[in-house]
Amino acid sequence: MAGQAGIPPLGERDADAITAGHGAIEVIDEILAELTSLRQQLITELRADEDARAARVDAMLPLIPASEIDAEVAARFTTPPGPATSGASWTARPT
């Protein structure tokens, strides 16, 4: 491997080097577990924030006169997601 020319093969390393290697793997595993936990926490917080924002928008939309809403924007909230609006969230508005 490139950059590892000075590292001897496993069979030629002393016991301390092997023990240190195992210790390093354990530390890396602990760090990965912590990062995974932090990642999940962040995902949960972002989803909760997104839901709260969507609820606020849904509550505000009926307060805006239809004549003031751009037709393209209004279509995003009255048309279910499909090929043209894939990924957009929507809420059916009363007609």
C-beta separation of 54 from 89 below 8 A = yes
pLDDT given at position 64: 79
CA distance 52 to 59: 11
Q: How many CB atoms lie within 10 A of CB 49?
A: 10
pLDDT given at position 70: 74
Question: pTM value?
Answer: 0.52
The DSSP secondary-structure symbol of 94 reads P
C-beta separation of 77 from 84 below 8 A = no
C-beta separation of 72 from 78 below 8 A = no
- pLDDT tens for each residue of 51-91: 999 999 889 888 877 777 777 776 776 666 655 545 555 45
